[in-house]
């Protein structure tokens, strides 16, 4: 699946925030790639990870039809997601969000495969898909091997 290059470029520019926070850029990129369908189905303009609106959110929102596993069945649902104003705002919010709510992932943020396991192994689980971390790990291996932007991800 080919990414939307314009959206991907903007995302890569914001990755500096994740790097500064100690995240592997590959962890953050893979997570966003998966959730946004290769940056072709970004929610709003900058919600790359499909982050739903938390209780105290006061900003923009986006109503989107998505799919979730409900009692083991894959089903369509309509959900309310955060609407970010910029890639930089989204990246900063994402890093803080992971730190606050997904400590198992946050403490392994420099190791993509452990990070993906951490997203679904704590009190809160990032996704309802029972194979979520396996899918992310497989995607990470493909992206790291085949994506011709490694120099931007690792050093940009």
Domain boundaries, the chain: 5-43+86-155
The predicted pLDDT at position 149 comes to 60
Q: Which CATH number fits domain 5-43+86-155: 3.40.50.40, 3.40.630.30, 1.10.530.10, 1.10.3720.10?
A: 1.10.530.10
The predicted pLDDT at position 153 comes to 59
**pTM for the complete prediction?**
0.89
* 60-86: pLDDT as tens digits: 999 988 888 888 888 888 989 999 999
The predicted pLDDT at position 74 comes to 86
| H or E, element range at 154 | helix 150-155
Place of tokens 């910029």: 86
Q: Is the pLDDT of residue 14 over 70?
A: yes
N-terminal to C-terminal alpha carbon distance within the chain = 23
pLDDT band at 13 (very low <50, low <70, confident <90, very high): very high
* 21-61: pLDDT as tens digits: 999 999 999 999 999 999 999 999 899 999 999 888 888 99
**Apex CA 61: angle with CA 55 and CA 66, to 5°?**
95
């Amino acid at each position: 699946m080919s990414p939307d290059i314009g959206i991907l470029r903007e995302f890569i520019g914001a990755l500096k925030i994740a790097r500064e926070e100690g995240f592997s850029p590959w962890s953050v990129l893979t997570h966003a790639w998966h959730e946004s369908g290769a940056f072709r189905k970004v929610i709003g303009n900058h919600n790359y990870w499909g982050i739903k609106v938390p209780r105290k959110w006061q900003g923009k929102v986006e109503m989107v039809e998505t799919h979730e596993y409900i009692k083991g069945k894959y089903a369509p649902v309509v959900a309310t997601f955060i609407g970010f104003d910029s890639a930089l705002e989204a990246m900063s919010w994402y890093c803080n969000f992971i730190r606050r709510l997904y400590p198992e992932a946050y403490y392994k943020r420099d190791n993509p495969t452990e990070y993906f396991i951490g997203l679904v192994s704590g009190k809160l689980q990032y996704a309802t898909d029972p194979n979520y971390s396996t899918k992310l790990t497989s995607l990470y291996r493909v992206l790291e091997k085949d994506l011709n932007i490694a120099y931007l991800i690792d050093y940009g």
